[in-house]
Amino acid sequence: MSVVTRFPPSPTGFMHIGNARTALFNYLYARHTDGKFLLRIEDTDRARHSEEAVLVIMNSLHWMGLTYDNDAVSQFAQKDRHTGVAKELLAKGAAYECYCTAEELEEMRESAKKEGRQSWYDRRWRDAPADAPKPDGVQPVIRIKAPIDGETTVQDEVQGEVTVKNEQIDDFIILRSDGTPTYMLAVVVDDHDMGVTHVIRGDDHLNNTFRQNVIYDALGWEKPVYAHMPLILGPDGAKLSKRHGAQSVEDLKEMGYLPEAVNNYLMRLGWSHGDDEIFSMDQAIAWFDIKDVNKSAAKFDFAKLDAVNTHYMAEADNSRLLNLLEDFAQVKMKDIHRARLEKAMDELKGRAATLKALAEDARIYLQDAPFEIDEKAQKHLDEDGKQTVAALTDILGGLDDFSAGNIEQACRDYAKTHKDGKLGKVMMPLRAALTGTDKSPSLFHAMEIIGKEETCKRLKVTFKAAQE
């Protein structure tokens, strides 16, 4: 049997990190088994539907490099098929029309609540004779006949054997009174029609599995293998959401994480292969097995993601990083800036955890004087700082060999003779003048790269501006 997995997101406008991991695991399993990975857009909520939201999903999958097989399926486009199956179930007596009014349903809910019963619908139309009088003006829903006694067991690849008492499963609706199919019906019909063999999804859907199995049984269709993964939690143990810092793939992209780092980190979140922390997609495909998915919930840890991203940043090709940086900062670099950054990249990329941090560190190479000096940097340009800048302009301007080593020596000499050997007293005003901020990577190397002319120009411009 050839494996077919699927990723069926509802287009909500963002790709939740948990959903992204679900997509990853389905992708890995399909590729591991030489099977197929299908995409189905669960777009039946027409009131909230937008093509942009679908595009967000496509873009996120593309960014993560998760290519799907066949064309994406629109669930909404299959609605006639879903309705047909509901009618088929009705015709064969596996489902029935229910004419309960809103008030009757409310009463049933109330009394179930009072009696502490989970299942509340009293099945009053289940065995009603065909000629039973129907209330005026009520459009019926179609309900499935769920088993009344006994229990149902699901053999889940992650959760193990899970059993529920059938009395907990109501005769749930498969076709609403307006003729639209419910999620429960649509998902079963689509999974069947798409030939899905393995359903790998979040364990928030485990309860649905028992209902979906009622439909499979009624239709005599073979059920897929199920694997329900624990959810991804925030560091505080609550469901991962925006307040934890990021909740979607787009958030992570905007924060400056690389797709291979996000993939690697998400794969490790809930799945492991020995002690391996860093691995490629190809390795994950070779190693992945549903049986190795953890049963306990995983907590999202930004420090770990930073560490994984730092690793991939350091490994990334310099010209790719330059392009990514342009995309990230949404600027087209001038040739001169790009040339400087190319020289600096080896040093910069080893220390930045994200593209955002890299963009900040790269600022010294990407600006031309005059530029704004921020408030923190201004503090280092007091009278003493200004004097240092003026003195260093002359000293550095007089160097014949403008190499990092020579620049460092000149700065150290000045610190020794004028600042009691305190190098910081020299470097902070220099940093402020050269970058407009109070943070930057090693200045000696940066000065060598931007060159004597640009270095002295920045120092002079800043000195002049500070005088005014």
The CA-based angle 96-97-102, given to 5 degrees, is 130
Is the backbone peptide bond immediately before 8 cis, with ω within 30 degrees of 0? no
Residues 27-86 that bind ligand GLU (CB under 6 A): 42
Q: How far is the CB of 364 from ligand GLU (least distance, A)?
A: 45
Residue 38 or 426: the one with the smaller Cβ distance to ligand GLU is: 38
User: Applying CB under 6 A, which of residues 9, 234, 270, 429 lies at the interface with ligand GLU?
Assistant: 9
Instruction: Classify 397 as helix, strand or coil.
Output: helix
Structure tokens at 267: 């794969």
Q: How far is the CB of 459 from ligand GLU (least distance, A)?
A: 57
Instruction: Classify 155 as helix, strand or coil.
Output: strand
Q: How far is the CB of 212 from ligand GLU (least distance, A)?
A: 8
Closest listed residue to residue 466, CA positions, set 426, 438, 432: 432
Residues 378-397 that bind ligand GLU (CB under 6 A): none
Name the amino acid, one letter, at 149. D
Q: Which stretch binds ligand GLU (CB under 6 A): 2-10, 133-141, 329-337, 360-368?
A: 2-10
Name the amino acid, one letter, at 290. I
User: Applying CB under 6 A, which of residues 3, 4, 5, 8 lies at the interface with ligand GLU?
Assistant: 8
Structure tokens at 171: 């005769």
Burial of 133 (0-12, 13-18, 19+ CB in 10 A): exposed
CB 271 within 8 A of CB 288: yes
Name the DSSP letter for residue 271: B
Q: How far is the CB of 288 from ligand GLU (least distance, A)?
A: 19
User: Applying CB under 6 A, which of residues 30, 187, 229, 261 lies at the interface with ligand GLU?
Assistant: 187
Residue 57 or 359: the one with the smaller Cβ distance to ligand GLU is: 57
Sheet containing 173-175, strands listed edge to edge, beginning at the edge strand earlier in sequence: 95-98, 141-144, 173-175
Name the DSSP letter for residue 158: T
Q: Which of 87, 92, 242, 439 is the catalytic position? A: 242
In Å, how far from its chain's centre is CA 440? 30
Residues 202-241 that bind ligand GLU (CB under 6 A): 205
Q: Count residues contacting ligand GLU (CB under 6 A)?
A: 7
201 binds ligand GLU (CB under 6 A): yes
To which residue do tokens 């679908």 refer? Answer: 54
Q: How far is the CB of 8 from ligand GLU (least distance, A)?
A: 5
Q: How far is the CB of 264 from ligand GLU (least distance, A)?
A: 24
Q: Which stretch binds ligand GLU (CB under 6 A): 7-15, 314-322, 395-403, 419-427?
A: 7-15
Residue 8 or 385: the one with the smaller Cβ distance to ligand GLU is: 8
Closest listed residue to residue 123, CA positions, set 152, 149, 96: 96
Q: How far is the CB of 194 from ligand GLU (least distance, A)?
A: 12
| CA separation for the pair 38, 6 (Å, rounded) | 4
Q: Which stretch binds ligand GLU (CB under 6 A): 8-16, 97-105, 236-244, 314-322?
A: 8-16
Residue 45 or 394: the one with the smaller Cβ distance to ligand GLU is: 45
Q: Which stretch binds ligand GLU (CB under 6 A): 3-11, 44-52, 60-68, 216-224?
A: 3-11
Name the amino acid, one letter, at 218. A
Residue 205 or 356: the one with the smaller Cβ distance to ligand GLU is: 205
Structure tokens at 338: 């790009």
Residue 187 or 313: the one with the smaller Cβ distance to ligand GLU is: 187
CB 276 within 8 A of CB 295: no
Number of Cβ atoms within 10 Å of the Cβ of 239: 14
Residue 205 or 304: the one with the smaller Cβ distance to ligand GLU is: 205
Q: How far is the CB of 206 from ligand GLU (least distance, A)?
A: 11
Instruction: Classify 41 as helix, strand or coil.
Output: strand
Q: Which stretch binds ligand GLU (CB under 6 A): 4-12, 48-56, 66-74, 146-154?
A: 4-12
Q: How far is the CB of 107 from ligand GLU (least distance, A)?
A: 32
Q: Which stretch binds ligand GLU (CB under 6 A): 6-14, 106-114, 219-227, 375-383?
A: 6-14
242 is an active site residue: yes
Number of Cβ atoms within 10 Å of the Cβ of 54: 17
Q: Cα dihedral sign for 114, 119, 124, 125?
A: positive
Name the DSSP letter for residue 195: T
Residue 187 or 189: the one with the smaller Cβ distance to ligand GLU is: 187
Instruction: Classify 383 as helix, strand or coil.
Output: helix
| CA separation for the pair 187, 157 (Å, rounded) | 20
Residue 19 or 354: the one with the smaller Cβ distance to ligand GLU is: 19
Catalytic residues: 242
* Residues in touch with ligand GLU (CB under 6 A): 8-10, 42, 187, 201, 205
